[in-house]
Structure 1
């Protein structure tokens, strides 16, 4: 059963210990939200078992993804991701080496990209990213190699090469670059994790949540945001209708933004985006220094240490190269369930 693309409800859970059962997976995942089904796949004798968990609600699935990816179940760290369409379920390429290919001419197809990169080694996957509505190329894509050395060579040798009428850019693929948001977008459109996670620095763990004109309390915010990770601090400004929620990790904050933005709380449609952390909230002196330097660049000091994001931030694309895979620290309150 395929989910509607923008609100998927099915998770892939891989790298399982052979002793894990469907019942155990359901016991763990229903702690986060009601599950519809769990299907265990064990037919490949050489590979580790994996399973698909389907939730009733997208936001529960998103919370489970944030909470469970990288956790140990029966001593093995599990990989959790959105389940993909049946055609690509056949091979798990998550541990292959992914190359980002940018500045593609509009007429360049997946086949062209494959052909251009084939000389460097065995390719496990390649695709040019298309716009869902128009079906046109977005001008970038990805190529995955089985072998790290092949990927390195491809990045070194293909950067600046001509493909069609343009010189292409290559780099390690960290996150997909955010899609530019159209100016009339009021922010209630479903945001995508891959876009949101790159729209603020990896040190930023703070979510701005606005639009709750009445009934805003710290308790309400804790209830709303605790499924997405460990909360370090909450500040509410009830008379202004907004609050700031600081998580222990950047990824938790990004999951929270994606899942809560545009939902209805206390009868109000809420807007979520990155809040701006000020130096006094940084976790160590070196980070404080970085943040102070950043702040001098922005020249924006703020009363009471918090700043409401301007919505022009939606259109700001971060330099794709600046981000490695930020390590995900995940929520600890499920730990007692996982230590068998």
Structure 2
């Protein structure tokens, strides 16, 4: 007899819990997509554990059959552990599911981890579900090995797509371009994590550069749903083999934070002026749970702090030298909290304590509450850094008026 899926705290759900969940699920599925930003009544956010607990950095892909955790991305705000288990528990091969939540707001960060009974079971889930449509949703399953560096088979070429209608989903955007270009790998509509509404722009990834170049011209002004699209260039992801070595941009005198195993902060240099903190959250968040992300005001650099050292190492090794906003970012270890006395004057990084510790007030956590002008460029925990940002004439992003 099939056991009911566990509740979000890991315990088996009773008949009342399961009935209540399906009631919430049905009522939510009857709502328009743009109204699905708030969790259903009774939804109880849990504190997010370290991704390492679910394989997000504690294991190295390729080390053997013991790797049995999968990363899952592009989750809508209502997609919780119960929803995931209601899908995967039917296979009898999933032990746990965990959705990562913002520690301050309690809302999901759009990704999580699935722990299977074995490596073979995880492999079967990855092959069976990845790229298929999620139940009761137009979202597509985005699965990958947890903690993996997500090496690509080759370079990815990305097109920015603006002026999207509110009803355009990932699936609609992907199919619109795939109908014309065979090398399309996927499309992503940027969603506001607080409201669940589309921000009116997205990105489409191509495997073939010539088709990407053609699409920027040929698809500009073409209709997707009820509106003509506006297309342009976005950041492209290089193959990992083309990236410079981690130490290429290190201080020749050495960085005390590099050898400190407790240091989880990465310095991000050579930032394009259009890159926002939310862009960094999106790009770096694919490697594990983030604690803080900060770009000091008026500076072309930033800092990303992970909850886990292994996740920080993977991000540094994988993203160093990749293009973001038209420039190749350079990464190195930031100053650890144990070496604060050796830090340079914080005033040169924006003042007010904005270097490592970040301002204790006035800075939102790594959630997605929109700042003025809505410069967020979130592309959901989507595997790979190919979804970059698009610099518009005024700098940053413009929110699509709806």
* TM-score bin, normalised by smaller chain: 0.3 to 0.5
Higher strand share: 1
TM-score, normalised on structure 1? 0.37
Higher helix share: 1
Higher relative contact order (CA 8 A, sep 6+): 2
TM-score, normalised on structure 2? 0.33
